[in-house]
Structure 1
Amino acid sequence: MMKQMGVKEVPAIQVTIKCADKEIIITNPQVVEMKVAGQRVYQVSGAIEEKAAEVEKRQLEIPEADVMLVAQQASVTLEEARKALIETEGDLAKAILLLKK
């Protein structure tokens, strides 16, 4: 009868919800999928564990052309331009303004 109503149990080992500041981990969850108004809705219950989110450190690649442009526009060395670009996460305009202060 549940299947006729669009409800089915989903076999799951773990459910992880990633938030900006934390992760919510539900181990041995009971997961139920329901179809409501053409959308799938999931209901999850189980033992909850929270942990702080791990900040991913992405490798920022600064093109040499960007370094040269910032150095030229701000009248600084290539190394100073590179540091400013890293600090501003590759934003050319912000890097130039930072160096012109």
Structure 2
Amino acid sequence: MLPMNPKQMKKMMKQMGIEMEELDAEEVIIRTSDEELIFRNPNVSKISARGVETFQIVGEYEVVKRPPKISEDDIKLIMEQANVDEETARRALEEAGGDLAEALMKLQE
């Protein structure tokens, strides 16, 4: 295939019903259950085709581990089962990554 200049490429994409827009993004954060992917100053494109919008993110990113979510119910359960105060129960759960059984076992050692 021969190289195509940007104007020709845009015209061809428009004929196929594809629109592309560059977004002026400062930061993009993708959160998963246990970590965040943080893109700073990324190149972000929004591509619209046949009613579907797709985003393309290009750039370097940093992976940040997220602390586990610890509910008040979990803290109360550990407090009751291990007969400890709230601060001790919370700390045990944090050290165990939110795992109730592991937190309880550590407190009973």
**TM value normalised by structure 1:** 0.48
**TM value normalised by structure 2:** 0.46
More helix by share: 2
More strand by share: 1
